[in-house]
Amino acid sequence: MKHHDKGADIICLTFWKKGVEYMKEDINNYALEYSFNKIEETAKTFRRLGETYYESTGISGQLLLVADVLEECVNVNLYSQNMDKDKAKELVRKCLLAGIRIKNITLVYGKNGIVQLALSAKTIGKNCVSVKRIINALNDVLGQEYYMPGSGESVVTEEFHHYLFIREARFKLLTGVARRGKGTSRFNGDNFLISRLECGKTTAAIADGMGSGKKAFSESRIVIELMENCIEAGFKEKAALDLVNAAYISGSGKGLNPVTMDMSVIDCDAGMLSCIKMGAAATFIKRENMCEIIKSTTLPIGVLEKVDFDCVSKKLYDGDYVVMISDGILDNIPGVDKEETMANLINDITVKKPAAMAEEIMRKSLKYNGDKPSDDMTVLVLGLFDTYDK
C-alpha cells in the first residue's frame, strides 16, 4: 500500500497558493505599467496634434492642455509603504471588535504630502455595517482624523472590497450658502459649486449669468458644470478655466451670453487662498476687527478667446472667513463705493457659523433696497478653523 504524505500535500498547496498570489501581483503590476504607457502615448499624441494645429489657437490650446493633464497623471509619483506592525495589529483588533475584518493595509503618500490609507474590508457576519466604524478605529489608532472620499463605498458588506481613506487637513473648512432670485422667477441666474478635492484643497465658485431668470440660470449652469467636471478630472484651476472658456466661446454662436466666474481655491493644509476672477464681484476676507477686499478688473467667460483672469494669493489664519458674492448683492447698495460699504457690513457681523453669516449678509443687503432684490443674489461663506492644538 502506497503511503500518502498529507504534510507534503499541504506544503505543495501552500506553495501553489503563494505562486498564484505572486502571479496576480505580476499581472497587476504589468496592467498598471501598460496603463501608464498608454496614457503617456496618448499625451504625446495630443501634444503633437496641438503643435500641428498651432495656427488654430482654440483647438491647439485645448489639445495641449489635455496633454499636460495626462502627463501629470503619469508623473504623479505616489509612494506607498506598509503600516507599522504594532499599529496595524491594533487597527485589526479594533476593527474586529467592531465586527469588521480588514487586510492589505497600505499607506500611500502623494507628491503633495497628503497621506492616504488603503485597505480591504468585510464584515465578520452576513450583515452590513457603516464604514464609519473603520474611520473611528483609524482615528483612535493613528491619532489623526481621516475621512473617505464621497465616491467611496459607504458600507462594509460580507465580501471583501477596497476602501480608501484620506487624512484630514490641518484646517477644517465650514461653508454656508444663501440665495435669492429676482422677482417671482423660480430660476436663479447664479450657480455655485463647493468641491472638496483629494489633494487637500477645496474649490468654491460662483458663476453669474447675464441678466436673470431661466436663460441666465442655464448659461451659468453650463459654465459651473464644465468647471466641476474639469476639476474632478484633475485639471488645475487655471487650465480648467482655459478649457471652459474655449468650449463656451465655441458655443457662443448658439446665442450664449458671457458669464462671470469667481473661484476661491483653499489649501486646507497650508492655509493659503488663491482667488481667481473673471469679471466677478469682489471677494472679502473677514478677520477679527478688519475686512479685506479683493477686486476684479477682468472680463467674463465667453468674451475673449484667450482667457483673461485676475489671480490673487492670500495667507489665511484660524477663524478667517472668505465671503464670495454675486453682483446682485452689491446692486442693492446705493452709492459709488459699494465694496467699502459691504466690507463694513461684513465686519460688523458677529455670528460665527458660516450659514448664519451668509443669511445675515443677504438680509442686510436686501434691507438697503426695501427687501426687494435688484438682481439674482448668492452668498458663499467659507470659514477656516485650525484643528492643531494651540
Angle CA 382–114–42, to nearest 5: 100
Could you say which of 115, 149, 167 is where a domain stops? 167
- Per-residue confidence (pLDDT) for residue 137, from 0 to 100: 94
Q: How many domains does the chain have?
A: 3
Ramachandran angles phi, psi of 333, nearest 5°: -90, 125
Q: Which of 27-31, 44-48, 127-131, 236-240 has the lowest mean pLDDT?
A: 27-31
In this predicted model, what pLDDT tens digit does every residue of 270-306 receive, in sequence order? 899 999 898 889 999 999 889 999 988 888 877 776 7
- Per-residue confidence (pLDDT) for residue 61, from 0 to 100: 67
Confidence grade of residue 115 (pLDDT, cut at 50, 70, 90) = confident
CATH code for the domain in which residue 363 is found: 3.60.40.10
- Per-residue confidence (pLDDT) for residue 345, from 0 to 100: 94
Judge whether 52 lies within some domain.
Answer: yes
**Which domain covers residue 265, as residue numbers?**
171-386
At residue 226, does pLDDT exceed 50?
yes
One domain for residues 247 and 375: yes
Judge whether 62 lies within some domain.
Answer: yes
CA distances from 186 to 12, 190, 213, 250 (A): 72, 12, 8, 29
Judge whether 43 lies within some domain.
Answer: yes
- Per-residue confidence (pLDDT) for residue 241, from 0 to 100: 80
Q: Half-sphere exposure of 315 toward its Cβ, with a 13 Å CA cutoff?
A: 2
One domain for residues 301 and 346: yes
One domain for residues 346 and 210: yes
d(CA 219, CA 189): 8
Judge whether 41 lies within some domain.
Answer: yes
DSSP state of 144: S
Judge whether 1 lies within some domain.
Answer: no
- Length of the chain as a residue count: 390
Percent of the chain with pLDDT over 70: 78
Confidence grade of residue 27 (pLDDT, cut at 50, 70, 90) = very low
One domain for residues 128 and 107: yes
One domain for residues 339 and 259: yes
Residue 22 grid cell: 505572486
Residue 261 grid cell: 466666474
One domain for residues 155 and 229: no
One domain for residues 201 and 150: no
Of 185, 208, 194, 177, the C-alpha closest to 328 is 208
Average pLDDT over residues 171-176: 92
Cβ–Cβ under 8 Å, residues 138 and 116: no
Tell me the residue type at 385: F
Q: Which of 57-71, 90-104, 166-180, 297-311 has the lowest mean pLDDT?
A: 57-71
Residue 27 grid cell: 499581472
Judge whether 324 lies within some domain.
Answer: yes
One domain for residues 55 and 183: no
Residue 116 grid cell: 492616504
Sheet holding 115-123, edge to edge: 79-82, 100-109, 115-123, 161-167, 146-147
For the chain, the average pLDDT equals: 80
Average pLDDT over residues 310-314: 88
One domain for residues 340 and 206: yes
Residue 49 grid cell: 496634434
Of 178, 182, 171, the C-alpha closest to 192 is 178
Could you say which of 24, 39, 74 is where a domain stops? 74
Confidence grade of residue 42 (pLDDT, cut at 50, 70, 90) = confident
Confidence grade of residue 53 (pLDDT, cut at 50, 70, 90) = low
Judge whether 264 lies within some domain.
Answer: yes
DSSP-assigned states of every residue in 169-235: PSEEEEEEEEEE-STT-S--SEEEEEEE-TTSEEEEEEEEESSSSHHHHHHHHHHHHHHHHHHHTT-
Residue pointed to by grid coordinates 460580507 = 158
Ramachandran angles phi, psi of 385, nearest 5°: -135, 130
- Per-residue confidence (pLDDT) for residue 35, from 0 to 100: 61
Ramachandran angles phi, psi of 339, nearest 5°: -65, -40
In this predicted model, what pLDDT tens digit does every residue of 317-375 receive, in sequence order? 999 999 999 988 998 998 888 999 999 999 999 999 999 999 999 999 999 888 888 88
Ramachandran angles phi, psi of 149, nearest 5°: -55, 150
- Per-residue confidence (pLDDT) for residue 11, from 0 to 100: 47
Residue of higher predicted confidence among 43 and 204 = 204
At residue 136, does pLDDT exceed 50?
yes
One domain for residues 266 and 365: yes
d(CA 357, CA 348): 11
Tell me the residue type at 6: K
Percent of the chain with pLDDT over 90: 31
Strands 161-167 and 146-147: antiparallel
Average pLDDT over residues 75-88: 75
Cβ–Cβ under 8 Å, residues 238 and 275: no
One domain for residues 277 and 373: yes
Angle CA 143–146–148, to nearest 5: 160
Judge whether 121 lies within some domain.
Answer: yes
Could you say which of 31, 46, 74 is where a domain stops? 74
- Per-residue confidence (pLDDT) for residue 385, from 0 to 100: 93
At residue 82, does pLDDT exceed 90?
no
- Per-residue confidence (pLDDT) for residue 289, from 0 to 100: 84
Residue 285 grid cell: 476676507
d(CA 35, CA 43): 12
Residue of higher predicted confidence among 57 and 127 = 127
At residue 112, does pLDDT exceed 60?
no
One domain for residues 125 and 251: no
